[in-house]
Amino acid sequence: MQVYLVGGAVRDRLLGHPYHEKDYVVVGATPQQMLAQGFQPVGKDFPVFLHPETKDEYALARTERKSGHGYHGFEFYTGASVTLEQDLIRRDLTINAMALDDDGTLYDPYGGQQDLAQRLLRHVSDAFAEDPLRVLRIARFAARYKALGFKVADETLQLMKQLAQSGELEALTPERVWKETSRALMEDHADEYFEVLRACGALKVLFPELDALYGVPQRPEYHPEIDCGIHTMMSLQQACRGNYSLDVRFAVLLHDLGKALTPKEELPRHIMHEQRGLQPVTEVCERMRVPTHTKQLALAVCKEHLKCHQALTLKPGTLWRLLQRLDVLRRPERVEAFIQACECDSRGRLGLENREYPQAQYVLDAMQVVRSIKAQDLPPDIQGPDIGEMLIEKRIKALSALKQAFELQQTI
């Protein structure tokens, strides 16, 4: 019985990249031997165990064979005769197909260390094409390691293209697609995930609404980058740069989907694209089964982002109604996330990445103003429906004072 550290921990240790999870493969053991040593079984498809103390995962060495369609269409074999090399060859990338023993000896039968040095994401074997989920995983790795200069190897990209064309991607469950996408969105270069998916044709299959933005022009005086798809990726870069939440990044990703639906005769203008975008945003969220709060922010940003850009010129009553629609009194955190997403949209433009966005502080100040006015501060003789009406009146009056103060400050 031999135990090896495998996968991401080995890869990241060699890269000097931080890692937390440790996965081990056990060669020459049976499930009965693992149980006898106190390991706790957790694997459903094949024997995986948790260490009785560290709770790290220990999987018996295994081989696999494609037996059906999609991500789950595999048959696994585990036995004491399965070698380390046989276990490693079923993995996705060479940089993930290395192992370390207890003495620190590196086992690298498929050239992972060389590919680390050359910054290449290369598949281990042609069996890569048997698992459609690997298309998303490779795109996610490309996003994670973009700052280190990693690229997808040409031959691996070709296999990914074949998978995208094969119909296998449609067999992926919404949960798996969302899990990989949400993890990729939290990388520092999340845009690379979508760029790689587009390069291999998978974006058109999994995110047709997003793919449709590429090639759609915008007015150059507002969008020097012109292309709607490029603008979306630049906006997402801003969300990564701000280290914003998953909800904000996802909202930024979908905020302009309506521009793909603009009638050609209206281009490069996009009148009413906010309203047109609500349906595709809804469809993406429902298809991927994203969490409700994530969907709600995405819809709000799609519908209202132009109002945020116009905040400095909005009438106080209009600004109040915007804050109301964002549920300012119960969900101030949603208003903050909304502002962050709108700021990313404003700065996701060629040459304007560092532009000022005073609307952000102005809307934040407006939020604090309206939240500071409470029913208990009203005169005691105000009762019933009059309470709500007076609260609205006072909040709009306070927003009017805020606007006057802001305009006065601009003249100084």
For the chain, the domain total comes to 1
Dist. CA 396–CA 36, nearest whole Å? 71
Give the dihedral of Cα atoms 72, 166, 137, 47; nearest 10 deg. 20
Structure tokens at 149: 């200069």
Q: Characterize 148-160 residue by residue with b for buried, 16 or more Cβ atoms within 10 angstroms of its Cβ, and e for exposed.
A: eebbbbeebbebb
Q: What distance lies between CA 44 and its chain's CA centroid?
A: 28
For residue 74, tell me if it sits in a domain: yes
Strands 23-27 and 2-6, sheet pairing? antiparallel
Considering the domain boundaries, does residue 68 fall inside one?
yes
The predicted structure's pLDDT at residue 386:
78
> For residue 385, is it within any domain?
no
Distance CA 77, CA 64 (A): 6
Structure tokens at 316: 């106080």
CA-to-CA separations, 254 to 45, 57, 213, 234, 294, in angstroms, rounded: 36, 37, 10, 13, 11
Q: Would you give the DSSP letter of residue 26?
A: E
The DSSP H or E segment spanning 392 is helix 385-411
Distance CA 323, CA 336 (A): 11
CA distance 43 to 58: 10
Give the residue numbers spanning the domain of 41: 1-111
Decide: helix, strand or coil at residue 91.
Answer: coil
Answer yes or no: is 213 within a domain. no
pTM value surpassing 0.85: yes
Q: What's the confidence (pLDDT) of residue 74?
A: 55
Please, are residues 88 and 54 in contact by the beta-carbon 8 Å criterion?
no
Instruction: Give the CB-side neighbour count of residue 104, counting CA atoms within 13 A.
Output: 2
Give the count of alpha carbons within 13 A of 331, CB side only: 13
Radius of gyration of the chain from its Cα atoms, rounded to whole angstroms: 26
Relative to beta strand 48-50, strand 40-41 is: antiparallel
DSSP 246: H
Phi, psi of 26 (to 5 degrees): -115, 125
* pLDDT given at position 72: 52
102 within domain boundaries: yes
Decide if 89 is inside a domain: yes
Residue 71 lies in a domain: yes
φ/ψ of 274, rounded to 5, equals: -65, -45
Q: What's phi and psi for 328, nearest 5 deg?
A: -60, -35
What CATH number has the domain bearing residue 8?
3.30.460.10
pLDDT given for residue 66 in this prediction: 59
Q: What is the pLDDT along the chain (412 residues), one digit of tens a residue?
A: 899 999 999 999 999 988 888 999 999 999 999 999 999 999 776 789 999 999 999 999 988 765 555 555 557 778 888 999 999 999 999 999 999 999 999 999 999 999 999 999 999 998 898 899 999 999 999 999 999 999 999 999 999 999 999 999 999 999 999 999 999 999 999 999 999 999 999 999 999 999 999 999 999 999 999 999 999 999 999 999 999 999 999 999 999 999 999 999 999 999 999 999 999 999 999 999 999 999 999 999 999 999 999 999 999 999 999 999 999 999 999 999 999 999 999 999 999 999 999 999 999 999 999 999 987 777 777 777 778 888 999 999 999 999 999 999 888 7
d(CA 269, CA 280): 19
**Per-residue pLDDT, 67:** 52
Residue 49 lies in a domain: yes
3-state secondary structure of 347: helix
pLDDT at 302: 98
Distances (CA, A) of 369 to 181, 361, 382, 397: 37, 12, 21, 10
Helices (H) and strands (E) in the chain, counts: 18, 11
58 forms bridges with which residues in the sheet?
24, 49
**What's phi and psi for 96, nearest 5 deg?**
-105, 5
